[in-house]
Amino acid sequence: MEGSRHSGDDWWRSAVIYQVYVRSFADGDGDGTGDLAGVRARLPHLAELGVDALWFTPWYVSPLADGGYDVADYRAIDPAFGTLAEAEKLIAEAQDLGIRTIVDIVPNHVSDQHPWFRAALAAGPGSPERRLFHFRPGRGAHGELPPNNWASEFGGVPWTRLDDGDWYLHLFAAQQPDLNWAHPAVRQEHEDVLRFWFERGVAGVRIDSAALLAKDPELPDITPDRTPHPYLDRDELHDIYRSWRAVADAYDGIFVGEVWLPDSERFARYLRPDELHTAFNFTFLTAPWDAASLRTAIDNTLAEHAPVGAPATWVLCNHDVTRTVTRYGRADTGFAFADKVFGTPTDLRLGTRRARAAALLSLALPGAVYLYQGEELGLPEADIPLDRIQDPMHARSGGTDPGRDGCRVPLPWAAGEPYAGFGSVGEPWLPQPPGWSTYAADVQAADPGSVLSLYREALRLRRTETGFGDGALHWLPSAEGILAFARPTGLTCVVNLSPEPAVLPHHREVLLASDPLDAEGRLPQDTAVWLRD
């Protein structure tokens, strides 16, 4: 037992948080689907990696129409994953290793199999049960047109018509009806769900689609001049999160919000001291591999967080976006959902080299860092055969968007075992591409030059050396294409994104480099280094 890695209440300001996509992490019972037994068996990997907390994507009862973001019961574990008793054991076992647990709450919508929605369907138009959602008559002479002109986040029309004539709103898939957050029962229920999980020992909650919950009650058309937006980033949200914060404070719990907003001032409003503790940094995640763009993303991030006193988070990938080594190996190294297409040429050697450098960059920046499972293995985005794609984003795009399954492929653990050690019996729910076992954790653990070895060493240094995590940063003078900054207590990070080798600033010790320095001790292209002065 290592005990808690951060003491005090502010662990989250400097934490390294590892995202577990349960379905694809490790299959304990051999049915081809990852589960809690698999996570429990692999906790030693996570402890050895050296992470401070685990964020579990939704593990609740769900028909899995959107990988679990369609929740039918927020207080029970999906039987495919395990039981509530097992989740409690997992939380306790992780805690014994000094690892905290963060659960994922999905407040914007429920599954169409949730008892509330089933009751609303049964109760019919005009019923009180339907007021928990957004049911409306259609437009047109026979109500045959959707009630407004909104578009689904997954493409297509966000309204579905029932046989009784009513339409219901779903900003995502049709199996994810949006809740009506103006209804007091909706607020009450979610605060109870928060308490339910805090009572079970979780340290924090990730809030899914956090800026979408509140809707203009009129559900008006979106027009270019309409402000505020009818469902994005509405002021009513802040009142909701203030009452959530009061719930969390009673348990010392923390929040991380999924807040995709281009406006940094509006974004920072969610991070005021009586609202959310942190939010994901999508500015950094979407920035291309280019020194000027990254520096701007870093400066903007720090500038927007400073006035509210919240720590930044640094995220390179998650279960929704293209895996980092693939993204950085393409001509366009930024990320945008709208730009995803099949067949983009990719240089994985180049992408991996850049991803290694980006890992050291993000781990040296002030604040907390999120890692997505498989990032520590340098997994690429996989091509999923068309007939195996499950993500609704693919079908709802009319088949043009490859969807998000390529970053959700079951992990390779052991090269010599069936399905690369993901699970021994059943075929994994998503196919692993040829060569997947070359990325296996056991192979990488034995190779000091592997991505896994780099992450382990980086996280070990981040824990044992001073100057990482929350705190200040100052930029050092550097040539074009080079990022160089110092943290307090003499820790320096330099990243070379230029073609020319870079001469390192004064230092006493090289702590870690993402790839070897050249014979003259200079930093080659697409390499990062941590120095101690």
Residues within the interface to ligand GLC (CB under 6 A): 66, 69, 106, 172, 208-209, 258, 319-320
- Residue 66 or 166: which CB sits closer to ligand GLC? 66
* Minimum CB distance to ligand GLC, residue 316 (Å): 15
Report the C-alpha gap between 340 and 396 in whole angstroms: 14
* Minimum CB distance to ligand GLC, residue 106 (Å): 5
- Residue 368 or 512: which CB sits closer to ligand GLC? 368
> End-to-end alpha-carbon separation of the chain, Å?
33
- Residue 196 or 337: which CB sits closer to ligand GLC? 337
Report the C-alpha gap between 327 and 342 in whole angstroms: 13
DSSP secondary structure code for residue 430 in this structure: S
Report the C-alpha gap between 284 and 495 in whole angstroms: 15
- Residue 258 or 515: which CB sits closer to ligand GLC? 258
- DSSP secondary structure, 142-179, as one string: TS-B-SS----TTSS-SEEE-TTS-EEE-SS-TTSPBB
Alpha helices, H only, 312-440: 324-327, 348-364, 392-396
Do residues 182 and 217 make contact, with C-beta atoms less than 8 angstroms apart? Answer: yes
Q: Cβ atoms within 10 A of the Cβ of 215, count?
A: 24
Upstream peptide bond of 380 is cis (omega within 30 degrees of 0)? no
Do residues 286 and 336 make contact, with C-beta atoms less than 8 angstroms apart? Answer: yes
Annotated catalytic residues are 208, 258
Do residues 458 and 447 make contact, with C-beta atoms less than 8 angstroms apart? Answer: no
The structure tokens 């809707």 sit at 215
- Residue 175 or 437: which CB sits closer to ligand GLC? 175
* Minimum CB distance to ligand GLC, residue 394 (Å): 12
* Minimum CB distance to ligand GLC, residue 485 (Å): 30
- Residue 208 or 275: which CB sits closer to ligand GLC? 208
* Minimum CB distance to ligand GLC, residue 482 (Å): 34
- Residue 35 or 208: which CB sits closer to ligand GLC? 208
Angle, vertex CA 389, rays to CA 387 and CA 391, nearest 5: 150
* Minimum CB distance to ligand GLC, residue 338 (Å): 15
* Closest residue to ligand GLC, based on beta-carbon distance: 69
* Minimum CB distance to ligand GLC, residue 155 (Å): 12
Q: Cβ atoms within 10 A of the Cβ of 492, count?
A: 21
| Identity of the residue numbered 85 | A
Closest CA relative to residue 318, chosen from 268, 372, 274 = 372
